[in-house]
Structure 1
């Protein structure tokens, strides 16, 4: 048996839902806890140009994740294909309602759901953390099933489309905004991409480098909504539906591809130049939502 979100061997396991958690990525939020345990992480631009993550947990449920922050308008389209549980600290009523309408079960710190707590080593609002096991235990009867695969996965790393058809690369430099400029460097020893935030290595709270088997760069439109944050910044919405350009990085190689997502509840599909599905390497995947306007992708 295989884990549906990573394609790695699972052995016999009790079916349980996927858990999506909204994780902060401001300077005050770093280093985060639990990101390396996620099967999939989505990075998006929010107000003020900072980024946040939607971290999806299924094959591993770590003891703790955080800091947990509030939901945003693009989150329903990211999480809906999982049909599982979405946990966050709070959010505007319309955004919270949209997550539930997209088919996810909503658990919120602001609503007093179990599994959330504040830690005393950070100050609010950067100190809300969560216990994934407690969150998943609250899944209702309609959200018990394991998720369907979110990407097409190869049986082995050598059979991934990037490995068979990609161009050798050692580094990805991304610009999501002037203040969100992550980069990924290929580590041939461990066969993973290693993340940095600008010139600073990105690490877990225990010092472990953040890493991914696959990095998928998705070029998207970002539009301003009518909402603003407390500082007066407009709340942007990343449009994660439609069709556009993308780049897959697997096995020390990159490959230009096309992404297609026909509706909020459909998964995002990656297609090669021949129109066939692109196969990612089995393992973890980070999805970088890079704006078409103002964003940039450089392969080195």
Structure 2
């Protein structure tokens, strides 16, 4: 066989394997209210994005953040479970890819005053194949939030295998992933093209640890191969014990907003991680600034916004070992500031066990009703000042 034929065969095999890996033609659609959206009727583009009829009404509420989507999108997400992805926040990693598409985002310090994000994806990525980057390693306190969703957990390694004597027992995230039975999507067990190093993502040279890219369709395809869809290998649905937050019926700004600029830091002296959320009354949303610059999503080139911002104050302990790992109190109660509709609510948070939902309450003990849309949970060491 000559070289030209071998080349053609090689290209065909590569294209076929890539299509399978990204699951372009594998969109599963359960029944919704008696209607069936056939998988064959869902048209995808070359990037794996489902083409949604622009005239289709958005009537379906996302159980994670209350935002409305189409029945077509719901038919896709109901065959899946939430996907939690660790995304780093080193200055060399900015701007990140994928944060703007998350339903919920958590932010907390890892080591050395550097924060890390965990995006929770479910409804917002149903019809879209999203790139996440840079994906980084697991930390123990994020596992307590992953457990609220029985989510797939995408990360690149993490702190502490069970037999690692250099890591504090309470900080051994990799050991706990196994012990808790978390649906582990560690990149070390996932190959190209689902996850890969892309040193050219940004127009600057960065260290290798800042280059990992993973795709949402690829991760969901891998999860399906492990029998982790909307149900697990034991046929238990992810939302069997899920407790959704409460959401308001509308999206209406206050006539006279009392919190138009929210600002706080995580550690003193680490200005690159100081955060400002500026309220935009016209859009009834908050625009994010970090380290003095507008925080944008690399994929969309748009400034990151949120409908709700929560500052959860909690006890920080550490460093607890030679790796300078930290611990955060995620189970218990504490103070919180909740910002929505241009108003500031001084309230509390409560979580009674690892798998339970973190709930937020106002000063009268009434559960918070979030505005439908993206929610950011900023986990800040208690004692830090929050200005608004």
Higher strand fraction (1 or 2): 1
Asked which structure has the greater RCO (Cα within 8 Å, sep 6+), the reply is 1
Shift of 1:152: 2.0
Provide structure 2 residue ranges, at least 5 long, that are not aligned to the other structure. 1-59, 162-171, 201-205, 231-236
1:191/1:20 Cα in 2 relative to 1: closer, same or farther (>3 Å)?
Answer: same
Determine the structure 2 residue equivalent to 1:29: 93
Q: CA deviation at 1:96?
A: 1.8
- Give the structure 2 partner of residue 90 of structure 1: 157
Q: Does 1:44 align with 2:123?
A: no
Q: Verify the 8 A CA contact 1:151 1:268 in the aligned structure 2.
A: no
Matched, 1:222 2:316: yes
Gap regions ≥5 residues in structure 1:
none
Q: Would you tell me which structure has more helix in proportion to its own residues?
A: 2
8 A contact 1:81–1:150 mirrored in 2: no
The Cα of 1:150 is off from its aligned counterpart by 4.5
Query: Please, what TM-score do these two structures have when normalized by structure 1?
Result: 0.90
Q: Indicate if the aligned counterparts of 1:214 and 1:248 stay in contact, CA closer than 8 A.
A: yes
1:6 corresponding residue in structure 2: 65
Please, which of 206, 215, 218 is the counterpart of residue 131 of structure 1? 215
**Which of 122, 142, 147 pairs up with 1:75?**
142
Partner Cα separation in structure 2 for residue 118 and residue 138 of structure 1: 18
After TM superposition, the structure 1 stretch with the greater mean CA deviation from structure 2, 75-84 or 30-39, is 75-84
For this pair of structures, how many residues does the alignment match?
Answer: 290
Q: Which residue of 177, 199, 204 corresponds with 1:99?
A: 177
Measured on the aligned residues, the alpha-carbon RMSD in Å equals 2.1
Q: Once the 2 structures are TM-superposed, how far is the Cα of residue 53 of structure 1 from its aligned partner?
A: 0.4
- Residue of structure 2 in register with 1:187 after alignment: 280
Superposition deviation, residue 136 in structure 1: 1.7
Matched-pair contact (CA < 8 Å) for 1:75–1:99: no
Secondary structure of 1:10 counterpart: strand
Paired residues of 2:144 and 2:355 also in contact (CA < 8 A): yes
Query: Which one has a bigger Cα radius of gyration?
Result: 2
Counterpart-to-counterpart distance in 2, 1:221 and 1:104: 25
Q: Distance in 2 between matches of 1:9 and 1:227?
A: 45
Once the two structures are TM-superposed, the CA of residue 46 in structure 1 deviates from its matched residue by 1.0
Question: Please, what TM-score do these two structures have when normalized by structure 2?
Answer: 0.70
CA contact (8 A) 1:40 1:285 kept: yes
Aligned to 1:267: 357
How far, CA to CA, are the matches of 1:217 and 1:170 in structure 2? 15
Deviations 1:254-286 (A, max 9, x none): 111110001111010011222221111010100
Alignment partners' CA distance in 1, 2:64 and 2:133: 21
